[in-house]
Amino acid sequence: MSATAAPDPTAAHSRFVQRVRRRYEKELDCLPAGTPVKSTMSACVEALRTRGLTVPAALRVMRQLVMERLVVLDCEQGAPLSDITRAVTELAELALDQACTLAFADLDELYGAP
């Protein structure tokens, strides 16, 4: 093996990926295969909610699953940068939409609808 050998491109060497796969082993199947988009991320949140997670917890888990998937797509499959940035943008939009909806519902419950 030469000193200039290319590093092994598998995502499994990432400590982040190892931790997510270990911590969320049972939840990994909630995110459908392929590049994460808003609809698949939303479906993932709903699947996590049916497993008993609160909205904030489901969003946190979904974020970890999406980021793990993006590492795999980038490192192992050479996904285009546009796919990665689109997924991160849609992840942020979905999380903000869900958090805002939850905050409005909490405020309506506390103070009544305007």
For residue 19, what are the CA distances in angstroms to 50, 52, 65? 23, 22, 11
CA-nearest of 45, 50, 51 to 97 is: 45
pTM for the model: 0.86
In this predicted model, what pLDDT tens digit does every residue of 20-57 receive, in sequence order?
A: 999 999 999 999 999 999 999 999 999 999 999 999 99
